[in-house]
Amino acid sequence: MRTLNLCILRGGPGRPAAYQTYRITVDEHLNILDAVQKVWATQDPTLLFRHACHHASCGLCGVRVNGRERLMCLTPIAEFPDGATVTLEPLRNFPWVGDLVVDVKPLMERMAAIQAPYVRRDELTAGGEEGTRFEDCIECGLCMSACPVVGSDSAYLGPSPLAMIKRLLEEPRGRDIRSLCLLAGDAHGAWRCHSVMECVEVCPSHVDPSQAIGWLRRYLILRGRRQPAEAQRR
């Protein structure tokens, strides 16, 4: 068992923002998400937080743990010494719903605008017939919160949507390449990135948005060189 002080930013629109500390004792093989759920179940039923799968698949439990964007379900209790204070704050750059909950609608709108796919072919296990698997991106929004460009240009498409566009251009499956290129090539698209690299560092799910954005830039440049020829043929 380990006792932690969870210092949680409470409040929301129309409610004053203030840190509230809960002292909670949990098994050390569990994660911060379990500690928060225990606080909610045993100390404060008004605490708002998002969660579903508890194994980094739904992408709901993203918060800032001691300032850094993480999934609570992937933040082991054992990482903190007994009696430590752990600060939990909602993700930045999203509209605040209350306590640890933000409105992820802006991210989902971006994903919807680029018609994000959900399954892809399996290239991880060798040989045999072709399987399919989910995309790496779990749409948790951690990268959107960690990116200073999202924080200063709110029309920026953002790291994970750009990474998703790269996936689609790699494997379009009937999607409109031209509109994807327009989005990626926009002033608020791939060219807006400042290579701050925090998106790569906070991603809990193997996506490398920075590498994807670089890929998009190369793709857009090469496409720009190809296109005049295409136009002439017509």
Partner 1 sequence: MTLHVVIIGAGSTGAAVAHDLTLRGYRVTVVERGEVACETTGRNHGLLHSGARYVLNDPPAARECAEDNALMRKLMPDILELNGGLFVALNEEDLSYKEAFLEACAQAGVPAEEIPIKEALRLEPNLNPRILAAVKVQDGVFDPFHFTLAFLATAKHHGAAVHTYTEVVDLVWNGRSVSGVKVRDRRDGREYAIGADLVVNAAGPWAGRIGAMAHVHIAVLPVAGTMVAVGRRWVRRVINRLCPPCDGGIIVPQRRNSVVGTTSWPVENPDYIAIPPEQVEAMLAAGEEFIPGFRSAPLRGISAAARPLLHESSQLVTADPGARGVTRGFSCFNHARDGAPGLFSIIGGKTTTSRLMAEVMGDVINEATGITNPCRTREVPLLPYHAFYV
Partner 2 sequence: MERSLPYRPVSEHVARTPWWRRAAAWADLHGRREGWLAFILMRLTGIGLVFYLFLHLTVLSTLARGPQAWDAFIALARSPLFVAFDGVLIFGMLYHGLNGLRVILLGLGVGSRRQAELFWGAFVLSIVLTAVAVRMILMMG
Length of the chain: 234
Q: Which two tokens stand for residue 9?
A: 């930013």
Contact with partner 2 (CB under 8 A): which of 120, 197, 220, 223?
197
Q: Which two tokens stand for residue 17?
A: 């923002």
CA distance 175 to 166: 12
Closest CA to 215 of 187, 196, 188, 189: 189
Min dist. Cβ of residue 17 to partner 2 (A): 13
Contact 96, 12 (CB under 8 A): yes
Contact 48, 99 (CB under 8 A): yes
Min dist. Cβ of residue 7 to partner 1 (A): 20
Residue number, 12 or 185, with CB nearest to partner 1 = 12
Residue 205 is a binding residue for partner 2 (CB under 8 A): no
Per DSSP, 174 falls in state T
| Measured CA angle at 54 (ends 82, 51), to 5 deg | 100
Residue 122 is a binding residue for partner 1 (CB under 8 A): yes
Residue 136 is a binding residue for partner 2 (CB under 8 A): no
Please give the residues from 46 up to 65 whose contact with partner 1 meets the rule CB under 8 A. 46, 48, 50-60
Query: Binds 14, which of partner 2, partner 1, none (CB < 5 to 8 A, cut-off by type)?
Result: partner 1
Distances (CA, A) of 114 to 57, 108, 174, 207: 21, 10, 13, 17
Query: Binds 160, which of partner 1, partner 2, none (CB < 5 to 8 A, cut-off by type)?
Result: none
Per DSSP, 90 falls in state P
Contact with partner 1 (CB under 8 A): which of 87, 92, 117, 196?
117
Q: DSSP secondary structure string, 36-82? A: HHHHHHHT-TT-----S-SSSSS---EEEETTEEEEGGGSBGGGS-T
Contact characters 190-229, partner 1, x per CB under 8 A: ---------------xx-----------------------
Residue 136 is a binding residue for partner 1 (CB under 8 A): yes
Residue 170 is a binding residue for partner 2 (CB under 8 A): no
CA distance 211 to 71: 22
Tell me which amino acid residue 116 is: A
Residue 91 is a binding residue for partner 2 (CB under 8 A): no
Q: Total number of residues binding partner 2 (CB under 8 A)?
A: 47
Where does this chain bind partner 2 (CB under 8 A)? Answer: 64, 66-69, 93-96, 106-107, 109-110, 112-113, 144, 148, 150-152, 154-158, 182-183, 186-188, 193-198, 200-201, 208, 210-215, 217-218
